[in-house]
């Protein structure tokens, strides 16, 4: 039987890859992933939680873990000799892996393309020679990659496939009152994001709550966080009288976000999930000074929030670097709550741009199926 190598080094990629595996019955798969792939019977040569569940200040340890993950994947590939590979996001790792796989005769599908339209467009030259198909998740990316000579196809965004509870059911699940306005606090899925964003997010919420006594909030803690970061976040939230919710890493936050009217969220996929759930986002992004200086030189886009990039305008507030302060966040959150009906229309626009009715996992499975000798299952 033919085999598939899967490499998904982040929680969102793990879920997206697992949805593809669901549509490839009987395929033997192995590689790098997390709980969602493990639940589908994928043999993990390396568990992504070993690399991502490390606390802030452990950069050296984290880098060493990535090296070990690299070695584990190469060992598994030498042993199993996969016929095809599904690489999901995790750009730096997978960009180095793709040439090796291609040289070994594996056909390569990349799901969730590197954002060459934002920075480092030279990566396209390398990937053009070593990626057979590029399954892109943002509509405009198809032409970007095709111009670079890559066989690219827009398949839709994996966030659109996740089932969402309705508002009433989500609120019951979270123990929230049916009618009060509610804010989701989403400080990120990596320890350094949580440590940089949670305190200003909670400070901003406290300011809004002092003006609007009926506003409720919950902090949603990503499933891949290390124990120390998780315990610190719980303690901080308890001091501020804000409840915490453990997010199932195999599902992600989107299933719960219907409960909320607005959100304070880290930049990334979660901002798009918040829009799709109509938890209108205030997006924040804060990195260290060295990273900021490099980004200023290399990054070509004005906006960082995916919903704003999709719309081509700043429909949703973004606060970056030194603007990530309680007063500015609170003002943006107040504005979002006041204009929620108007901003819900912008959420509708984002959903229209992404396209309704698409099944990204099925499209990706159909790319892989001929090389694996199976048929992709539509249901």
Q: Which of 101, 266, 92, 274 is nearest to 187 (CA)?
A: 266
**pLDDT for residue 121 is more than 90:** no
pLDDT band with cut points at 50, 70 and 90 for residue 297: very low
Q: Is 50 exceeded by the pLDDT of residue 304?
A: yes
Structure tokens at 94: 């997978």
In a domain, 176, yes or no: yes
Note whether 307 and 279 are same-domain residues: yes
How many structural domains is the chain composed of? 2
Contact between residue 133 and residue 110 where contact means Cβ atoms under 8 Å apart = yes
What are residue 273's DSSP bridge partners?
none
Three-state SS for 375?
Answer: coil
Classified as helix, coil or strand, 204 is: helix
In a domain, 266, yes or no: yes
Q: What whole-number distance in Å separates Cα of residue 140 and Cα of residue 288?
A: 30
Are residues 105 and 89 both part of a single domain? yes
Name the pTM for this structure: 0.90
Count of CB atoms situated within 10 Å of the CB of 19: 19
Do 182 and 308 fall into the same domain?
yes
For residues 329 and 196, membership in a common domain is answered with yes
148 with 207, same domain: the answer is no
> Using CA of residue 170, residue 175, residue 178, residue 182, what is the dihedral sign?
negative
Whether 134 and 185 map to the same domain: the answer is no
CA distance 376 to 84: 15
Ranges assigned E (strand) in 200-268: 216-221, 243-246, 262-266
Residues 108 and 33 in one domain: yes
Two tokens at 175?
């123990």
The Cα–Cα gap between 271 and 179 comes to 23
Does 135 score more than 80 pLDDT? yes
Which residues fall within 8 angstroms of residue 211, CB to CB, at 6 or more apart? 334
CATH number, domain with residue 309: 3.40.50.2000
Contact criterion met (CB below 8 Å) for 292 and 200: no
Rounded to 5 degrees, φ, ψ at 240 are -90, 5
Q: Among 42-56, 68-82, 240-254, 341-355, whose mean pLDDT is lowest? A: 42-56
Interatomic CA distance for residues 98 and 27, integer angstroms = 21
Answer yes or no: do 133 and 243 share one domain.
no
Distance CA 366, CA 375 (A): 7
* pLDDT tens string 148-206: 999 999 999 999 988 777 899 999 989 998 889 999 999 998 888 999 999 999 999 99
Confidence band for 290, pLDDT divided at 50, 70 and 90? low
Per the structure, the complete domain to which residue 311 belongs is given by: 167-354
Stretch (H or E) spanning 243: strand 243-246
Neighbour tally for 72: CB within 10 Å: 17
φ and ψ at 248, to 5 degrees?
Answer: -65, 120
Q: What is the pLDDT of residue 132?
A: 96
C-alpha distances in angstroms, 54 versus 185, 198, 241, 310, 372?
Answer: 21, 17, 27, 32, 36
Same domain, 60 and 33: yes
Query: Per the domain annotation, does 377 fall within a domain?
Result: no
Residues 171 and 317 in one domain: yes
The band of 300, judged by pLDDT with boundaries at 50, 70 and 90, is: low
User: Per-residue pLDDT tens for 71-112?
Assistant: 999 999 999 999 999 999 998 899 999 999 999 999 999 999
Q: How far apart are CA 263 and CA 316, in angstroms?
A: 11
Burial class (CB in 10 A: 0-12, 13-18, 19+), 227: exposed
28 and 150 in a single domain? The answer is yes
Instruction: Decide if pLDDT at 12 tops 60.
Output: yes
């Amino acid at each position: 039987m033919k085999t598939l190598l899967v490499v998904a080094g982040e929680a969102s990629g793990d879920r997206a890859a697992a949805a593809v595996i669901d549509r490839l019955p009987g395929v033997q798969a192995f590689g790098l992933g997390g709980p969602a792939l493990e639940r589908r019977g994928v043999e993990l040569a390396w568990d992504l939680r070993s690399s991502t569940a490390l606390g802030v200040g452990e950069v050296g340890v984290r880098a060493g873990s990535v090296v070990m993950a690299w070695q584990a994947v190469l060992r598994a590939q030498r042993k199993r000799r996969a016929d095809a590979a599904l690489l999901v996001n995790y750009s730096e790792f997978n960009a180095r892996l793709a040439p090796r796989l291609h040289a070994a005769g594996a056909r390569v599908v990349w799901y969730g393309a590197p954002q060459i339209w934002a920075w480092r467009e030279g990566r396209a030259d390398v990937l053009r020679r070593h990626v057979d198909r590029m399954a892109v998740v943002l509509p405009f990316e198809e032409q970007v990659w095709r111009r670079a000579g890559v066989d690219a196809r827009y398949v839709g965004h994996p966030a659109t496939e996740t089932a969402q509870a309705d508002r009433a059911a989500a609120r019951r699940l979270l123990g929230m009152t049916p009618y009060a306005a509610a804010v989701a606090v989403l400080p990120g899925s990596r320890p350094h994001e949580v440590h940089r964003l949670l305190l200003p997010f909670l400070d901003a919420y406290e300011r809004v709550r002092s003006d609007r006594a009926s506003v409720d909030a919950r902090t949603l803690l990503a499933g891949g966080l290390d124990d120390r970061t998780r315990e610190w976040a719980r303690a901080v939230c308890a001091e501020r009288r804000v409840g915490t919710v453990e997010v199932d890493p195999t599902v992600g936050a989107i299933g719960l976000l219907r409960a909320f009217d607005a959100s304070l969220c880290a930049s990334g996929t979660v901002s798009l999930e918040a829009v799709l759930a109509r938890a209108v986002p205030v997006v924040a992004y804060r990195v260290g000074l060295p990273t900021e200086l490099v980004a200023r030189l290399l990054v070509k886009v004005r906006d960082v929030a995916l919903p704003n990039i999709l719309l081509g305008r700043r429909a949703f507030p973004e606060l970056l670097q030194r603007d990530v302060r309680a007063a500015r966040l609170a003002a943006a959150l107040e504005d979002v709550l006041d204009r929620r009906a108007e901003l819900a229309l912008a959420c509708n626009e984002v959903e229209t741009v992404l396209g309704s009715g698409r099944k990204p996992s099925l499209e990706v499975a159909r790319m892989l199926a001929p090389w694996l000798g199976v048929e992709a299952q539509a249901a």
